[in-house]
Amino acid sequence: MNVVVCVKQIPDPAAPQSLDASHNLDRSGKLILDEADTYGVEMALQLVDKAGSGEVTVVSMGSASDVAGLRNALAMGAAKAVIVSDDSLRGSDSLGTAKVLAAVIGRDMPDLILCATESSDGYTGTTPVQLAELLGLPSVTFAKSVVVEGGSLKVDRQTEAGYDEVTSPLPALVTVTAGVVEPRYASFKGIMAAKNKPVEVLSVADLGLAGAVGQAGARQEITEVVAAESRQAGEKYVDEGDGAEKIVAFLESIKVL
């Protein structure tokens, strides 16, 4: 069974963040594997292990100037990595990102594609379902458990009320929540092995997407960034024997009662 995990390399959340002149996150510093994607990598490794054959490939779009995040996924046990890195990707929106990921994954369709429900820096949560649509695959979101049995997929899908039991044919795309599995720490042996695992770097032209992605194909643009309004001081009521009435009157004024 072959599984692709879409992983994003993000600026280290522990380091100070800044925006560039176009209001985009400055990604020129150290990049790390988004922790949200470590759950997908672990889930994929466990599914392939259980199937007894196949491999895990991680696919990413972003700068290849620092691939430490991808090496981390390889050190956990993924067999290979593919990254699409190109100056023309600047200003991509999530649909552009999905188009790039679809072009890579569509070259050799795996049995299963795993993504996180949302990334830790952009957190639109829209890329995975767009990717499934572009590839013509069913998508099952918010998985808290994933089982592959007899060529079909069984997912417990987290809902506000509990969970839904969903079955789907393969190939399919699944987004996993942080509770799905406990990601392993890379062993020393894994870290050493990762140094020799292949990391394929592709350009937009390699995928035949020139002009269709990046700023040129984006339908989304950040026009302004403003600081969140600071919270106003609350109103204080002094209880002079009429505290309850004052609270009720206030709640009525804001139509809570």
Ligand X SMILES: Cc1cc2nc3c(=O)[nH]c(=O)nc-3n(C[C@H](O)[C@H](O)[C@H](O)COP(=O)(O)OP(=O)(O)OC[C@H]3O[C@@H](n4cnc5c(N)ncnc54)[C@H](O)[C@@H]3O)c2cc1C
| Residues of the shown chain interacting with ligand X in the complex, contacts defined by CB under 6 A | 6-8, 24, 34, 36-37, 60-62, 89-94, 97, 101, 115-116, 118-119, 121-128, 220, 222
Least distance to ligand X, CB of residue 189, Å? 26
Provide the 10 A C-beta neighbour count for residue 151: 9
Closest CB to ligand X belongs to which residue?
122
- The whole-angstrom separation of Cα 39 and Cα 107 is 25
Least distance to ligand X, CB of residue 75, Å? 18
DSSP H helices in 16-93: 35-51, 68-76
Nearer to ligand X by Cβ, of 65 and 187: the residue is 65
Nearer to ligand X by Cβ, of 216 and 246: the residue is 216
- The whole-angstrom separation of Cα 235 and Cα 225 is 30
Identify how many contiguous H helices and E strands the chain contains and give both numbers: 6, 11
Is 31 within 8 Å of 14 (Cβ atoms)? no
Nearer to ligand X by Cβ, of 7 and 194: the residue is 7
Least distance to ligand X, CB of residue 16, Å? 18
Least distance to ligand X, CB of residue 208, Å? 18
Reduced to 3 states (helix: H, G, I; strand: E, B; else coil), residue 125 is: coil
Nearer to ligand X by Cβ, of 126 and 203: the residue is 126
